[in-house]
Structure 1
């Protein structure tokens, strides 16, 4: 009887130790898996940031080359005309053209600077930032814009505002340049736990799955990943309907 008790005792002890070792192994394995998953997320986020940064550099370089550099080349030609022309009337007209050209360069440099780092991002809501942006774009575009927003229910952080602002910039740029739309509407719908941005236009339809159109769609998708937002694009005969939903941070 005593031998049986000893046997059960040591057998039970062995089983308990084995279970404890298994639990420790499982915990270590689970922790390693979490660390590996976290590292993969960091790598993916870094890759996304690099993609966005690369696209931004390409866009800025193109804007400088096609816009500011072209205007400066025109000014350079006007200076040559001014130097060679003996005609006083011609000189006066050239000086007027030079003044207009310098103003254009100033406006273009100011626009590029604003796009690089929109001022007062920290001090304004996304509604104010987008409304001001739409007003500026409306002055230089034939596109009819409408902006609507209900009362905000929470505050986006600086990164969220900046990325959402950039996405809208890219989308509006695509609409103006490629869609041949006549009207576009931005609607911010605030709910207790989310913000949904709707952007609707009546232009030609396009697909975010097609990267051969040069619309900067990959840049937009990279920013969506950065925001961890839900993105839906519906394309119909009436135009395009885009919605971007950002969940409220649980710590807000």
Structure 2
């Protein structure tokens, strides 16, 4: 429409373009939220370990970040809700690392015993001031926190500007 209309002022054209970009951003965020709420078939097909391998393979295809992971004692029959929350959490951690951390490496470890499951994610990025981000948290960090807390879990974020970030998550299994 902007291309076809030749008789509108540059100011109006700029205003319409800004409005259009805002609408596109809102639509993108809505699609992202919907897709994040859908249960991925990858989890039912491959389990959490296979889904983590898939995420790692996709990340490592780019030259932006090298991701490695280990799992210890991870039960193939993990509760579906726990699997889904951990998968979404991992997606958000990877997205945040790619988008904000300027890291070259990300290491993820998931361990499970009879009482709990632990996830640790550590990057070598630039870090951030956690207190500032916590009070101005976007949807990603808020979603991670609420998902973990809904499972009676705890999340610890060790982050400071000028060094990497370590995220530790503990979810009780009973």
Would the TM-score normalized by the shorter structure come out above 0.5?
yes
Question: Could you say if the C-alpha distance between residues 114 and 232 of structure 1 is closer, same or farther in structure 2, counting changes exceeding 3 Å?
Answer: closer
CA offsets per residue over residues 176-197 of structure 1, 9 Å max, x none? 0011111100011222321111
| Structure with the larger strand share | 2
CA offsets per residue over residues 178-219 of structure 1, 9 Å max, x none? 111111000112223211111000112231652426472112
Question: Which residue number in structure 1 is paired with residue 166 of structure 2?
Answer: 241
Question: Could you say if the C-alpha distance between residues 181 and 238 of structure 1 is closer, same or farther in structure 2, counting changes exceeding 3 Å?
Answer: same
Question: Which residue number in structure 1 is paired with residue 153 of structure 2?
Answer: 229
> Displacement, 1:160?
1.0
Residues 1:125 and 2:27 aligned together: no
Secondary structure of the residue aligned to 1:181 is coil
Aligned residues, how many?
146
After superposition, the CA RMSD in angstroms is 2.9
- Which sections of structure 2, spanning at least 5 residues, go unmatched? 1-24
Q: Distance in 2 between matches of 1:179 and 1:233?
A: 14
Question: Could you say if the C-alpha distance between residues 113 and 218 of structure 1 is closer, same or farther in structure 2, counting changes exceeding 3 Å?
Answer: closer
> Displacement, 1:158?
1.1
Secondary structure of the residue aligned to 2:88 is helix
TM-score under structure 1 normalisation?
A: 0.50
Question: Could you say if the C-alpha distance between residues 214 and 113 of structure 1 is closer, same or farther in structure 2, counting changes exceeding 3 Å?
Answer: closer
Larger radius of gyration: 1
Question: Structure with the greater relative contact order (CA < 8 A, sep ≥ 6): 1 or 2?
Answer: 2
Question: Could you say if the C-alpha distance between residues 213 and 157 of structure 1 is closer, same or farther in structure 2, counting changes exceeding 3 Å?
Answer: closer
